[in-house]
Amino acid sequence: MDTFLNELGFPGLLILLCGSLWLLMKGADWLIDGSTNLARRIGVSELVIGLTVVAFGTSLPELVVSVQAALIGKGSLSFANVIGSNIANIGLVLGFTAIIHPLTASAPVRQKDTPFAVLIVFAFLATLLSQQTNAGDEWIFPRWGGGLLLFLFGIFILRLIFFGKEEDQDDEPHDLTMTVAILLIIGGSALLGLGGFYTVEAASRIAMNLGISEHVVGLTVVAFGTSLPELVACIVGARKKMVKLVLGNILGSNLMNLTLVLGSASAIREISIDKSGVIDSIAMVAITCSMAFFLMRKKVPHLSRRVGFGWVGFWIMYMAYTGVRSLG
């Protein structure tokens, strides 16, 4: 695989990047059509499908990249990928989606899913900050912290299994057979995983050739590449006015990124984080809290176009800050 990619050269990597983006768009379209039809057939709400099936499908690139990086000892890339992806999911993806179509959160999102997301990010940050090394300039995310995150992932899934059918039942008609819907979900997830993997490989190799550090690549290029499935899925969902699926996708993806993806990577091998990684973690917690504030407020719509522009602006400025920081 490495030999094949190295032989492509710069023009070949650009072509591979474009082809991977097409796979992401087609995969997102299949996944959304299949999952929403399946949800209506088996009596599960659009929100729960967004929190689980769509969220897992769009989180596959993060899972593949982070576990692969952990196995070869590149834990900082795993960590930066997850933190950068979560920042991008809210700042870029949810922000851009709100610009296209203002979003209103349902009662389960406001009362259950959003508070749980806040609980998880603070549990993550508390674990990280409690593990500062004696040198004082490095922190460790331990293997037991990975186990804790995986335990929280299990609680998240169990809650949906036992209480998911009570949340926002949808009575809209379905126009696909169950077999076709399942095939679209499987095919869409496969295209997203494949497209996300090659997007990251092509983009990261291009960035490496330009002399960008591993942490910065993980936080920016790789995080952007692995957030593309969420971006495409949310744009498609917004175009089809599937608000509950869009919010479920972002909340579910961010929850899975922290619990399943980072939990799996850090359970394999503890991860060393420097000061910049802690700053990025605090930024991720801050933007998650801002999302919680807007989703839980009583004003409708909860995510207006003004909020969307603000988040996109924050993401652009933070990426610019990251770039400047890497030069320092």
Q: How far does CA 172 lie from the centroid of its chain? A: 28
Query: Is there a domain that residue 227 lies in?
Result: yes
Dmax (CA) for the chain in angstroms is 61
Query: Is there a domain that residue 234 lies in?
Result: yes
Give the residue-averaged pLDDT of 299-326.
Answer: 87
Give the integer Cα–Cα distance in Å for 138 and 150: 24
Query: Is there a domain that residue 187 lies in?
Result: no
Note the pLDDT of residue 171.
47
Note the pLDDT of residue 238.
75
Note the pLDDT of residue 51.
79
Read off the pLDDT of residues 48-70 as tens digits, 9 standing for 90 and up: 777 777 777 767 767 777 777 77
Burial of 298 (0-12, 13-18, 19+ CB in 10 A): exposed
Give the integer Cα–Cα distance in Å for 194 and 174: 28
Note the pLDDT of residue 283.
94
- Name residues whose C-beta falls within 8 Å of residue 153's C-beta, 6 or more positions apart in sequence: 255, 256, 259, 260, 263
Note the pLDDT of residue 324.
80
Question: Around Cβ 104, how many Cβ atoms within 10 Å?
Answer: 16
Which one has a higher pLDDT value, 287 or 55? 287
User: Which runs of consecutive H residues, i.e. helices, occur in 43-177?
Assistant: 46-49, 55-71, 75-88, 95-100, 107-108, 114-129, 143-163
Query: Is there a domain that residue 12 lies in?
Result: no
Query: Is there a domain that residue 73 lies in?
Result: yes
Note the pLDDT of residue 164.
60
Question: What's the predicted TM-score (pTM) here?
Answer: 0.79
Query: Is there a domain that residue 174 lies in?
Result: no
Read off the pLDDT of residues 155-208 as tens digits, 9 standing for 90 and up: 988 887 776 655 554 445 456 788 888 898 889 888 877 876 776 677 667 766
The count of domains in the chain is 1
Angle 300-295-185 (CA atoms, 0-180°, nearest 5)? 105
Read off the pLDDT of residues 201-258 as tens digits, 9 standing for 90 and up: 776 677 667 666 666 776 777 777 767 777 777 877 777 777 777 888 888 889 988 9
Select the highest-mean-pLDDT range: 79-83, 179-183, 244-248, 285-289: 285-289
Note the pLDDT of residue 289.
95
Token pair of 62, please? 């993060």
**Which range of residues forms the domain containing residue 204?**
46-164+196-327
Note the pLDDT of residue 75.
72
Query: Is there a domain that residue 142 lies in?
Result: yes
Note the pLDDT of residue 315.
92
Supply φ then ψ for residue 240, to 5 degrees: -90, 5
Give the integer Cα–Cα distance in Å for 244 and 100: 15
Give the residue-averaged pLDDT of 304-327.
Answer: 88
- Name residues whose C-beta falls within 8 Å of residue 42's C-beta, 6 or more positions apart in sequence: 178
Q: Tell me the CATH number at 95.
A: 1.20.1420.30
Among 324, 306, 108, 101, smallest CA distance to 220 is for: 324
Note the pLDDT of residue 145.
92
Note the pLDDT of residue 195.
76
Of all residues in the chain, the percent with pLDDT exceeding 90 is 20
| Window from 30-44, 66-80, 169-183 with minimum mean pLDDT | 169-183
Please, what is the average pLDDT of the chain?
80
| Window from 32-46, 75-89, 135-149, 160-174 with minimum mean pLDDT | 160-174
